Every structure is written in C-alpha cells, then in structure tokens.
Structure 1
C-alpha cells in the first residue's frame, strides 16, 4: 500500500518514516509533504491508500487538505494527528470519515495500531467491493444471456436492468467479436472489450458465445449507428486479426435476440471474406436454395471416371459459393468432408501422406477448423493431387496387384494378415500371386506388408497423442515389444527415440 505523511515539522516526519518497520504492515511506498498544499499536489499523482496528516499546517491545514483530497483521491483513508484536542477539529475529522485520530507527541505503539487498523479497514472494504463487483458482473452476464434468448422473461429482464444500471428503454445493437482463432475467450479479453466500450461512454453488456466468441450488447442513442461503427473501426485497426459481426438495431429489449442472430450471421461472412474484419448483413444476391444432389453425383462420377478433372471442378463450385456467399459454413464443411471421405475410401493409403491427419476424425476436425472456403479449397486441391499421383503410381501395375495393395492397406492392422488370406481375396493361389507380385513390384508380399506397416508407424509416431501400444495395434504388430524390435532393426532407433528426434 502507498502512504503519504503530511506534517510541517521535519523532525516529526522523518521520525515517523525512520522509526517504523513498514513492510510487515503492508506499506510498500512512502512519500512526504511539508504542508497541506504540497500534500495535495503529491496526492493528485500518487493516489495514496493511507494519508497520515497533521491538522495544523501552513497553506492548507489538515482539514482543508482532507476536504480537497476527497475530490482528487476519494479512496484515500485519513489518519489525523495533532497536539490540539480541539472539539471542532474532531467534529470535522468525523465528517471526513477519518479512520483514526492520533495525539501528539506520537507514541509508536499508537501509530502502529492505527496503521494496522487502517490497513485492515482497507482490506475489508476491498474484499466487500470485489464481491459487489463480481456479483454485478455475474448479473450483467446473466442479463446478456437472457437478452440473446428468444424466450426471455421481460419483467425479470427489466428488473435486472435496474439493478445493473443498464438502460431498459433504449435502442440496442449486438456486436459479436472473435479473435480469429479457436481459442476460448479469456477473462482479460472480456475485461478489455468492456473497458473499451466504457471509454467511449457506451453502456454495454457482454457474455461468451460458443466458447471462442464474445457478444457485446450496446445501448445506443437513436441515429447513433455511424458513431458506433466509427468506434468499432478504431477497435479493429488496433487489433489485426480480430473479426466482428454487427447486428441490426433493436428498438426495444424484446428484439435484442434478433439483433444477436443477425450479428452471428454477419460474422459468418468472414468464411467467404477472410481478409475483412467487420461484417454486416448487407443486401446479397439471391442465393440458390439448398445443395442439390447433382453436386454429389457430379463429384462421384468424376472421381470414378475423370479424377484429373476434379481439381478444376472443386475450384468452379467454390467460385459459385463465393459469388452468392452461400451455403453457410457448416453446410460447406459437410459437403467437402463427404468428398474427402470418398477419396480416402478409394485410397486410404493417402492418410500416410497427409501431415497432421491420421484418421477420418482428424479429417473432419481439420475441415471444420478451416476459417475460410479458400482454406478448404486448398486442402481439397492437395488431397486431389495426392490422389491423382497415387493413381498414376498404381497405373503401372495390373488390376490384380492394385487389388492386393488395396487389401493390404485396408487390413494391415490384422496381426494374422498373410499371403494365403490375400490370395483368397483375389481368387489366386499363393504361389501364383506371390510370383505375380514379385515380378511387378520387385518385392515379396511379406516385404511389402512389412514396409507398409513401418511407414504407417512412422506417420503415427509423429502424433504424440498416439501411445506406442496403440501404434503397434493399429499397424498389426503382435505386441509393443515386437514392434519396438522391428522398428529398431529398420531405423536403429526405438519408437520413443524416433519420436523425440522428429519432435525437436
């Protein structure tokens, strides 16, 4: 805490400062003044928690100083000291809410007791104020949550508006903000946003939406939309990467929920315009309703018959979506997840060639996390490139050998996968199939299975969420110890050592 000592007697001031051990009392910074006027100047910048002041001083006496102090540093707590036990002074001290009054000559025990009393008083008041502030914040969050709900209780809302001093008869505007990431909204960010609106004297409420977005409900004067948009523009210029949706004005409390929905919908436009920061629901072209089954049929037809044309087709439909800003993000994600799953169904071995994607769940999560249609398009183009390259690599082999490779890819997790089982799947004898496979690939089926399992294991090891036991099972090894033995023989490293090496 900060302490200001004001006394015109140098000996008294210095004696107080040097005779006390202030640290155990919680005092971390001390300043001194020779008269009331100097004390007032210091207090205006210093904002002391405690002021220990003499009553009789030149320029401004202690009472006059304390009256002016109440204006510039209202939270400062007063301790008066004087050798004059004057009744009028005592009455003035009481009116100024002095915590205590110390008689001169000062005894250190009395001073220490007074300081302790004042520190305890401040701590108690701060705790009480903190609880009041927390309760007020919770009430304001509750109010924001009720206002964004379409089924709110109007009487209860108006009651909480009065409790929290939020205008109940105003015009309102909803703002939904995002930092442009999937990270959860932090308390520090919430405090920053709320303080920002307050700095422009804009009454506001706020609550977290969908974990990574923040809703601000602003109370605005009629025809004040331009000023609000200017204030928002300043906010975004200072914070690159933030995006924000502006809802339509709500003329009364009952329509705030509609403003919130339009703000959310406006924010979704960032999916089609990743380089912009602020979005409203401007007039759009009439978008076609629904996604016809023809898109699915066109895709599957090209996948089977003309896979080299798929990249251009994906680019074309993305341009169509951007033209109308339709469909909404979730629908686009579902569409491309279906397409990507179909590609992996045809060639599941592609998973081994995709960074950070280990299964179809990862695939879905990745596409849902894409912040723009362009990110999804780029991912699909990369996947299609891998798919076409895979087809070209396999084109050198006969249909039987391609079927064998596909069967191994789909069943490599089976510990007992062997040549006999594979030969039965293609209706050939083991000897004949073994000869065909060696002639076309240059390796035996057993060697191919071993190499495939090893490359799959390397891919899975790169994901630290996969434990070694799980990797050995997914790759078809009989046990973790056998997997470790095979892996070390091939790489001169154990799986754990390999993971540490690639994670550096």
Structure 2
C-alpha cells in the first residue's frame, strides 16, 4: 500500500516516517513531498492509496491538493493535518469525504489509528466488485497488490494469522493453514531495479500460467524477488516444479541474479523457508549468476593456505605467468567446494594476491593507476562473484607481465631490489657483487637504478637494512648489537650512527618510543 505524505515542515515529515510502524498498518511504500506542487509531480510515477497532507502550505493548500488527487485517484483515502481550527477547511474536508482530520501538535497514537482506519478502507474498497470494465481493471490490480501483501506476510518472522486469513479472503487465493510452502528468493545484482521488477513480474506471470502452479510473489527491499509455492499437504510437495520454475525464470529474464530455494514448511512456519533461502544466498558468490543454491551448504569452510600466496609471488617474480594463473584458478576452484566459507574471508585472501601484484609493480617502477592501487581492497570487495575477482586478477597479472616484458630497464631495477631483499644480511654485500650477479657493467647498473628510482644502489641497501632493523627493534628479546649484525652492519656503533642519521634518533630511543 502506498502513502503520499505532504507537509512543508521537514521535521514533521521525518518525525512521522521514523516513528510510525507503517508495516503493521499495511503501508509499505512512502513518498514524502514539501508542498502540493511537488506532490502532483510525484504522482506521475507514484500511485497513492492514502494522502496524508497538511492543510496550510505555501504554493498550494492541502485542500487544493486533495481535490486534484481526488480527480486523478478517486479511490485515494485522504487524511488532513492542521494546527488551525478553521471551519471553512473542515467543511471542504467533509465534502472530499476525508477519512479524518488530525490536529497539530500530532499525537502519534491518534495519527496511527487514523492511518489504520484509512488503510482498512482501502482494503475494503479493493475487495468491492463492480461489473464494469473500469472496475474489472481495478479489481485485477488490487488482487495483484493483495497477493503481493499475502506473499509478504509469509516472509515475516512472526506469523500474523488474522492478517493471513483476511488477505486470503480478499484475494480468493487458495491457501489454507494446512498447506505447505517452499520459498524461492532471487537477489537482483547490477541491474536497473525498476526495469528488473517489470521484467520479473511479466515472466513470472507467464511461467506460472503455463505450468498451472499455485504461487504468489512479492518484492522485498530494493533487490529481492520472493516467490512462494503452495502445496495442499506435505505429501503433495513437488520440489522439482519449484526448481524448474527457478531455472526457467533465470534463463528467460536474462538478469544477473543469485537464486536460492528454501525447504518445505507448513504455512505458519513459512518464514523458515524464506530464511533458509535468504541465508544461503551468500553462496551465490561461489556459484555465480544464474545458478541455484541448494539449502544444504554444509559447515566446512576453506582452509586458506598462505603457502599458495607465496608460491603465487614466486611465479610472478620468476616470470611464470602460466603457473601464476593456474594457482589463482585452482584456489578459486577449490573454494567453490566450500560454499559455507564467508565471502569476506575469500575476498580478503584475494586482496593479498592483488596487493602482491600492486607492490611488485611498484618495485619494478611500472606506472599504474595510483587511485586504483590505493583502493585495491575496495575494488576486490565490490565484486559480487568469485569469477569476477578471478577475471580481475588475471587482467592485472597480464598487465604486469606485459610491462616487464617490454621494459628491460624496470626489470633490471626489480632484480637489483630483489637481490638486496634476499642478501641484505650479508655484511659484504656491494654494488660490485650485485652487478656481477646480474651480468651487468657496474656503472651501467648504477646509472639505470638511479635514473629509475632517484637514489643510489648503496643508499637503497642502507635504507633497506634500516627498515628491517626497525621491525626487529620492536621485539624486546633481541639485543641492539645483535640486530646490527642481523641486518648486515659490521658493529652496533656504526649501526647507531647510520640509524640516527636516517631516523633522527638512536635505535634505543626508537625502541623505547614505539614499545610504549
């Protein structure tokens, strides 16, 4: 049921929206406007069942607005609000057959009761049958709305038997308390929701009409389409027809969606079927779009092995593209066997792989999208399926290898950095040793490194040693003199001088400051 709320005071509008339990009244959609002119524009795309409006407003009074709305939507119930006791307004309100007139300051209980009264009138009006072409259209539209509300009732944690019975009688939909239900939930991903809703409604009507299945459906939230199948008893439950429907809708709709099917439950426990399906929708991340998630996901989760990330890094450093991609795909393939694994845990794991590529690009001095690199975690987490993440990482891997194959100078810089990383602990590590290892002329190696990084190889070695020493200084159980040797300095005195020159303080001061 739709409510159009019009008041020039934003505080009043927000106060009503936030403090009234509209769901319990039967109102599921609310459109609020600050004046009558805006309201008339809004109803071009919004059909109000109830108009709740202030009387005295700029541009157009509530009475004038109500007259316009009554012309367009003669069945719309009208409730007026006003801080003034104006007899002329009251007379006009009576002429428009307003449901009630609520005085300001507003008492929430009073206005809730009034809206409930209006909602009841709307429901009663919808159930009235007129043998005219126009009435037939209204009844057909109303029946659809009521069936949608009935389907919505079956997704609530607390089963409202009175509302259920009332809606069943109004819709003439055959469903009794002895029936069993199975709920199917579709999650709409990456689509225009309004277009998706129209498409899903049309195709669902077509499939249900062809198959002669007893089912009702509704939309819940922005992206959930819920279809509830009804069976006369437990013995007549036909899960196969539900699966066939789901597959048919996924195929014909051509919309990116996840789909999950709940177990069969008695009508009064319909929420359990809805909950089964909703909870298991998370496995759509592993299944992918257009696939049905079964109820039994198991409880085993994937064991994230960091050694695979290390192997992946080794392949990147060793320029083994094929094996790097094979490792990535095999991890993804294994993950699909453990759909109970938290999506966030999987995304975090792949973030580590993505960061490896970003960091290696930096070490190679490969120019990359700075904003992309800084937001790589957000990039990975925005993807809704595992396959999308794998495709993104393969694209990054290919970009990485394309750059290092083209730029030999960046390759030299990377190899120098990698050699320092692996040998910085050796006290005699020198530029000459590194040049010999790479098979390069020493002056050429120094020139390329400085040109690409802005620093010398010797200074890079020293800075790298200081960086590693800072990590060790945070550990209480290692003496500073031992740390000096561990990172490649000949003695602690020289280590102290170099450390102070770079960090502005002695190693001991750094330790005391950062261990607090």
Instruction: Report TM bin, short chain.
Output: 0.3 to 0.5
Report the TM-score, using the length of structure 2 for normalisation: 0.43
Report the TM-score, using the length of structure 1 for normalisation: 0.44
Larger radius of gyration, structure 1 or 2?
1
